[in-house]
Structure 1
Amino acid sequence: MYPTEKVTVPTRVIGLISGTSVDGIDAALVEISGQELDLKVELVAGATYPYPAELREKILRVCAGEAISMTELAEIDDAIAFFFAEAAQNIQIGHQPATLIGSHGQTVYHRPPKGAEEKEKNFNSLLRTQNSGLRTPLGYTLQLGRGALIAHLTGITTVSNFRVADIAIGGHGAPLVPRVDAYLLSHPQEARCIQNIGGIGNVAYIPLRRDNWLEKMRGWDTGPGNSLLDLAVQHLSNGAQTYDENGQWAATGTPCHPLVEQWLTQDYFQLPPPKSTGRELFGVTYLQECLQAAEAYQLSPADILATLTELTAASIVHSYRTFLPQLPDRILLCGGGSRNLYLKQRLQSLLPSVPVLTTDEVGLSADFKEAIAFAVLAYWRQLGIPGNLPSATGAPQEVLLGEIHPSQY
């Protein structure tokens, strides 16, 4: 454990994040008290602020690997920071002001570490590998929306760039929320899976809160969440829709199970945790491959959406059955996909013995849980408390997460 820094502990914190769906900026204004086992969080206000359409399209093109100039990248970085700062200012209207911001920023690129045998090398080995001119096994991640600029524009100390410290020591830098889930959602009498469904799905498995329970936790990215669904909706509607509200369109179709079984043979689903992924894998190119494979089955647009929804549900269940020590007693959904009623029904159908609920039903907002988590991670950074969970990210040790940008006001 790191020594506690002598800082003024903030109690009102803003968490900001835009996920891989690039729907907009989720902002959560929260009251935080305690530290770890005594951690308490109260959501004061939560809102989602959509990106301007032009900026969203630029972000999605960058995520899809489109080549742009450094000038264009800098302009997008600035624009994201401005809109994050604006979200932080707007969420405080009518409330007592915050003293700290935790900003995840906007992920535009994520490269997991290389093979498991390389990830086990220690840091000195990595340095020797670098000096020999060979490629290192380290991952890489890029979140836009400069924390220093957010701090300047809001006048509030801002913590940002949370993922890089974990990656620097050989971890994936993802998922980062499991440690927060552990202290907010663990239970002494039931094991839980906290399943976030954003653009990408990720899970935190929390065993019974007993001796050494934190060491037994697991977490990883399960695969596509809404990413393929949203892309497919845009494609099938010729741009008229950006997502399938409540899964209503998909619910009118019939899943093609042989196609789902074919897709589940993809290498990522077989890779043991810790593991992470993003739009670099489950993006436009992957969707095109899925659509091409679907041609042999002559599926309707609704059937295609039902089948892609089934892939999200089936990949989650495959992860649980393959990599968990046992199935959980309860599944708690969060993120935008938790509002997709058809997806929720398919998950429940595939795991009939395990109740599938949302984190709302245990007192933590499903819509803003990720934003709340980055508020907590910023709070922990100020206290000198590590934020990563090595059993989830694959890092060899706990580290402090985030770079602190003091307000100049």
Structure 2
Amino acid sequence: MTIRSLGLMSGTSVDGIDAAIADITGTECDLQVELIDAATYPYPEALRKQILAVCAGEAISMAQFAELDEAIAREFAQAALTLLGDRRKADLIGSHGQTVYHRPPTADAPLGYSLQLGRGAAIARLTGIPTVSNFRAADIAAGGQGAPLVPKVDFCLLTHPQQTRCVQNIGGIGNVTYLPPRHPQGGSDGEKIPTPASAIAATQLPRAWDTGPGNALLDLAVQHLSQGQLAYDADGAWASTGKPCEALVQQWLSHPFFQEPPPKSTGRELFGKAYLQQCLADAEALQLTDADILATIAELTVAAIARSYRDFLPQPPDEVLLCGGGSRNGYLRRRLQLRLSESFAAPVAVLTTSAVGLNADFKEAIAFAVLAYWRYQGIPGNLPHCTGAKVPMLLGEIHRWMG
């Protein structure tokens, strides 16, 4: 039976709501996803500024908090309705919501915390479509990081029979899913059947973690250096005119987060405005130009990715598949290719997920369409060895409007 699921996603960059409609069949290793349509809907500028202010720690009243939650839900619902139009319907919606706070587990607070606004009950009410939301809570309740949540989707849709792949999302924060080859098993009649996710040998497990800052830190730097005239550096054009300061990159890579082994996750709480101010102070002490500062911050993003691969992967990848906004940044992509080749002393193919059949711009929205589908099917959506959870969990809360 085919289920039409609509995924909604807004990431750490807070640059808009990605919406994707997909027809989904199968369960796990036989999962089939056909993208029907997708689009990005920018936030109204006033709402975006309010979200970013709250992410940066600005205090608001509970009444203002409730209003913000409702405003985000309305934008998500409108994105869904606009994409559907008058001629299409969806069976369900999977909404990630807008993360405004993420605190991974620590020794002092072993149960993490993650808050996404844009409540699913309001989206279900406004659209009339059953909505699954609050996906991270169940993994956190099971002792996990609550992130990254897409590795099981990556495993089911992007694993190659022979090649080792890394699926590298460069959104506001970078995260990777490592996919060892999935060798088919022989069925009783000799037919080749895929290995189910529940039967993967420990040595062949996918792995996943946040690699560090992605576009969010770069965007903050661009906005600061352009005095608010630019929101981001299109295609890395400005950064490409500068020269990365390698000594500064290595200094920044000494941050404890980069040494911490997976599972691990992070967000603007660590790599946000306060971190940028320290980066700017370090750069100004070395009298770097604005272009050099951007080139150096971009280099931190790709150097963190390459170092985490070198330190935490069991073997080098044959391919790196990029997705997210950073996959469209030609400068970042070239620098990552160079860093990976240097780290492994051999060329590493850097492509996008679009090159292997999964739209790179909307992969995260597609993933939450799948996670909602799995929740409806009663299929766990997390991979405990990737998030640190004790057990597989059904992810998300189901909201129905009965009006």
Taking structure 2 as the reference length, what is the TM-score of the superposition?
Answer: 0.93
Structure 1 residue ranges, 4+ long, deviating more than 6 angstroms after superposition: none
Question: Which residue is 1:388 aligned to?
Answer: 382
1:10/1:379 contact within 8 Å kept:
no
Counterpart of 2:156 in 1: which secondary structure? helix
1:185 equivalent in alignment to 2:179: no
Task: Choose which of 28, 43, 48 in structure 2 pairs with 1:51.
Answer: 43
1:280 equivalent in alignment to 2:269: yes
Question: Which residue is 1:155 aligned to?
Answer: 128
Task: Choose which of 337, 351, 361 in structure 2 pairs with 1:367.
Answer: 361
Partners of 1:337 and 1:151 lie apart in 2 by: 31
Task: Choose which of 290, 293, 297 in structure 1 pairs with 2:286.
Answer: 297
Shift of 1:408: 1.8
Question: Which residue is 1:86 aligned to?
Answer: 78
One-letter code aligned to 1:193: C
Indicate the larger mover: 374-383 or 293-302. Answer: 293-302
1:28/1:44 contact within 8 Å kept:
yes
1:182/1:214 contact within 8 Å kept:
no
1:348 equivalent in alignment to 2:337: yes
Unaligned runs of 5+ in 2: 184-194, 342-346
1:179/1:389 contact within 8 Å kept:
yes
The number of residues matched between the two structures is 382
Partners of 2:87 and 2:47 lie apart in 1 by: 29
1:207 equivalent in alignment to 2:174: no
Describe how 1:248-287 pairs up with structure 2 within 5 A.
Answer: 248-287=237-276
One-letter code aligned to 1:43: L
1:274/1:392 contact within 8 Å kept:
yes
1:10/1:99 contact within 8 Å kept:
no
1:407 equivalent in alignment to 2:396: no
Evaluate the alpha carbon distance shift between residue 214 and residue 285 of structure 1 in structure 2; reply closer, same or farther with a 3 A threshold: farther
Unaligned runs of 5+ in 1: 1-8, 116-134
- Identical pairs, percent: 66
Task: Choose which of 60, 85, 106 in structure 1 pairs with 2:98.
Answer: 106
Partners of 1:29 and 1:191 lie apart in 2 by: 29
Partners of 1:339 and 1:403 lie apart in 2 by: 33
One-letter code aligned to 2:263: P
1:107/1:141 contact within 8 Å kept:
yes
Describe how 1:95-134 pairs up with structure 2 within 5 A.
Answer: 95-115=87-107
Task: Choose which of 11, 22, 27 in structure 2 pairs with 1:30.
Answer: 22
Task: Choose which of 68, 81, 85 in structure 2 pairs with 1:76.
Answer: 68
Taking structure 1 as the reference length, what is the TM-score of the superposition?
Answer: 0.92
Q: Aligned-pair RMSD on alpha carbons?
A: 1.1
Question: Which residue is 2:222 aligned to?
Answer: 233
Partners of 2:336 and 2:277 lie apart in 1 by: 25
Question: Which residue is 2:113 aligned to?
Answer: 140
Partners of 1:388 and 1:103 lie apart in 2 by: 16
Shift of 1:96: 2.4
